């Protein structure tokens, strides 16, 4: 991407006139010492708490004083077929069907929700053999049906699917690995979100599917093998972004491979899957049922998601207030955090729940899309130094201990346990201290209660403004909540601290 294109992208602007393009570039490059300093107006903002030192809470926990604010912005309205219940599939049947219930043997297995225009498909399921000698493959089929009298075109914009074995094993990785071309991952959730973040459509996916009137076509028809090749269990995670020219119904289905007269496994056909839609019930056993709305936080059972969630992307422009166009840097030695993927029992004192609402669901599944798996976060931070001296600011992703409290600060472990709560790729776009536009990808692994190291560190002169953009898709293997934290380092720390992403040579 050219410098000008990236400047425009960072500024969150699409196709714009030449004068506006020049202005966007000037804004992105406001660190140029020859340019006139930007005058930042005084703005009423939420007061930060008095500066205080970290406090030990016992049991290996430490309280770090930092202000937590709700994340601005909101989810968009793109519907998402979200199939994750049951996670472990032990029988043939329907995992999720948006088909109409008329003419079906089990009407309650169908949600009667047609997609039209933009929609996403997210699925995550596991096949588990009864013993090491069981080698029969479980197929996962995603069927699209055209209910109209005209052909419908379905475009596959981005798409990715991987097995745990052998495609994306859970392997130990360093906490931070810079990954410019997308070769670093641990687990299928980490790998599919990295692909889609980079705008990829995996080679096995068609670019376009044309569905004739009143007919069905397969979006996906792939195995989840177990047995001698992949012992005990195996999983498949899938994420696809689609667009349809008209209404289509979709279903995510599970079928153990049919066998021919000689006992050899066969790939299920479209007719096999269509028969399943008409004649089969939901796959059982199901995961535990969700707690109804209004359940006290300490008694909530979230359950897994099976339904249509509302929201594929969360866009946020993070500023002091909606009335101004910059975010004031915290005072020296202070931190300001914004919650990421907050949910009940994990609002960190903000009261904000970011879980996607459900447009349609099965009665025993989650009432909200807890986890927002596969949702893309686009976070724009136009930073402004309103002080009279140069400030060194660090940006970090953190995973505090889940809590609904956050008035005094956030709790972390002094030694985080070996329980990974985030493994996925984060993209950062910013203007560095050399006045150069950067796009950096880093694979992040964080454990429960881990503070994390700064991803980038910037030096802003008095009156200077700098734009930073953070993008990632929330990985299916992760456990919320997290925070994006901006810290203005004191002078001693600014000398000692080195960011994960150092300057490029």
Residues 487 and 368 in one domain: yes
Do 260 and 342 sit in the same domain of this protein?
no
Taking residues 430-459, report their average pLDDT.
95
Per-residue pLDDT tens digits for 183-209: 999 999 999 999 999 999 999 999 999
**pLDDT tens digit string along 5-48?**
333 334 332 322 333 333 333 333 333 322 333 334 333 334 44
Same domain (yes/no): 270, 329? no
Q: Are residues 234 and 326 in the same domain?
A: no
Residue 284 lies in a domain: no
- Summarised one tens digit per residue, pLDDT across range 244-299 is 999 999 999 999 999 888 888 899 999 999 999 999 999 999 999 998 888 887 88
| pLDDT tens per residue across span 242-253 | 999 999 999 999
Whole-angstrom Cα distance, residue 240 to residue 433? 37
pLDDT of 19 reads 37
Q: Determine, yes or no, domain membership for 308.
A: no
Is 503 within a domain? no
Per the domain annotation, does 124 fall within a domain?
Answer: yes
Domain annotation covers residue 311:
no
Three-state DSSP class for 222? Answer: strand
Same domain, 120 and 189: yes
Contact 174, 445 (CB under 8 A): yes
Residue 129 is predicted with a pLDDT of 75
**Is the pLDDT assigned to residue 339 strictly greater than 60?**
yes
In a shared domain, residues 90 and 19: no
The per-residue pLDDT for range 117-142, each reduced to its tens digit, is 999 999 999 998 776 666 678 999 99
Tell me: do 243 and 351 sit in the same domain.
Answer: no
- DSSP tag of 442: E
Evaluate whether residue 288 is within a structural domain: no
DSSP string, 81-103: EEE-SSSEE-SSEEEEE-S--TT
* 31, two tokens: 């660190």
Residue 420 has pLDDT above 50, yes or no: yes
Dist CA 62 CA 460 (whole Å) = 30
157 lies in the same domain as 124: yes
3-state secondary structure 202-215: CCCCCCEEEECCCC
Distance CA 233, CA 224 (A): 9
Q: Is residue 300 domain-resident?
A: no
The reply to whether 167 and 264 lie within a common domain is yes
Tens digits of residue pLDDT in 58-96: 889 999 999 999 999 999 999 999 999 999 999 999 999
- Domain residue limits at 247: 86-279
pTM recorded for the entire structure: 0.87
One domain for residues 379 and 454: yes
Task: Say whether both 7 and 38 belong to one domain.
Answer: no
Q: Hey, what are 269's tokens?
A: 């056909």
Structural domains of the chain, count: 3
Tokens matching residue 328: 């004031």
Under the banding of pLDDT at 50, 70 and 90, the label for residue 413 is very high
**Residue 293, domain member (yes or no):** no
Does 225 lie in the same domain as 205? yes
């Amino acid at each position: 991407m050219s410098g000008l294109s990236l400047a425009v992208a960072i500024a969150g602007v699409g196709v714009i006139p030449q004068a506006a393009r020049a202005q966007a570039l000037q804004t992105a490059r406001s660190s140029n010492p020859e340019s006139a300093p930007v005058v930042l107006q005084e703005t009423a903002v939420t007061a930060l708490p008095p500066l205080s030192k970290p406090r030990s809470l016992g049991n290996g926990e430490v309280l770090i004083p930092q202000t937590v604010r709700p994340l601005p912005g909101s989810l968009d309205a793109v519907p998402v077929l979200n199939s994750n219940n049951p996670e472990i599939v032990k029988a043939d049947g329907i995992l999720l069907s948006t088909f109409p219930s008329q003419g079906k043997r089990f009407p309650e297995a169908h949600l009667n929700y047609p997609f039209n225009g933009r929609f996403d498909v997210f699925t995550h399921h596991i096949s588990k053999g009864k013993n090491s000698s069981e080698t029969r493959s479980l197929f996962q089929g995603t069927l699209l049906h055209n209910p109209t009298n005209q052909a419908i075109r379905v475009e596959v914009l981005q798409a990715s699917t991987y097995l745990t074995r052998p495609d994306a094993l859970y392997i130990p990785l360093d906490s931070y690995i810079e990954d410019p071309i997308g070769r670093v991952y641990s687990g299928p959730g980490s790998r599919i979100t990295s692909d889609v973040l980079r705008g990829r459509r995996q080679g096995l996916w068609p670019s376009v599917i044309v569905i004739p009137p009143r007919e069905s076509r397969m979006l996906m028809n792939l195995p989840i093998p177990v047995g001698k090749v992949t012992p005990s269990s195996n999983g498949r995670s899938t994420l696809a972004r689609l667009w349809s020219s008209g209404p289509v119904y979709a279903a995510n289905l599970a079928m153990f491979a049919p066998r021919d007269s000689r006992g050899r496994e066969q790939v299920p056909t479209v007719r096999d899957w269509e028969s399943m839609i008409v004649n089969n019930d939901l796959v059982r056993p199901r995961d535990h049922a969700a707690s109804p709305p209004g359940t006290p936080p300490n008694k909530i059972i979230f359950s897994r998601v099976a339904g249509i969630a509302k929201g594929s992307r969360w866009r946020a422009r993070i500023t002091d207030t909606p009335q101004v166009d910059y975010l004031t840097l915290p005072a020296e030695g202070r931190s300001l955090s914004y919650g990421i993927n907050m949910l009940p029992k994990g609002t960190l004192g903000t009261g904000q729940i970011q879980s996607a609402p459900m447009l349609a669901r099965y009665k025993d599944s989650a009432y909200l899309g807890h986890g927002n798996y596969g949702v893309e976060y686009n976070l724009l931070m136009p930073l402004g130094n309103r002080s009279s001296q140069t400030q060194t600011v660090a940006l970090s992703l953190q995973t505090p201990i889940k809590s609904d409290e956050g008035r005094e600060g956030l709790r972390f472990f002094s030694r985080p346990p070996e329980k990974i709560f985030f493994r996925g790729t984060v993209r950062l776009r910013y203007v560095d201290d050399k006045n150069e536009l950067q796009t950096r990808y880093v694979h992040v692994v964080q454990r429960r209660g881990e503070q994390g190291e700064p991803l980038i560190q910037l030096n802003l002169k008095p009156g200077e403004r700098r734009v930073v953009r953070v993008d990632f898709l929330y990985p299916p293997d992760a456990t919320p909540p997290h925070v994006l934290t901006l810290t203005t380092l004191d002078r001693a720390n600014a000398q000692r601290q080195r960011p994960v992403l150092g300057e490029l040579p």
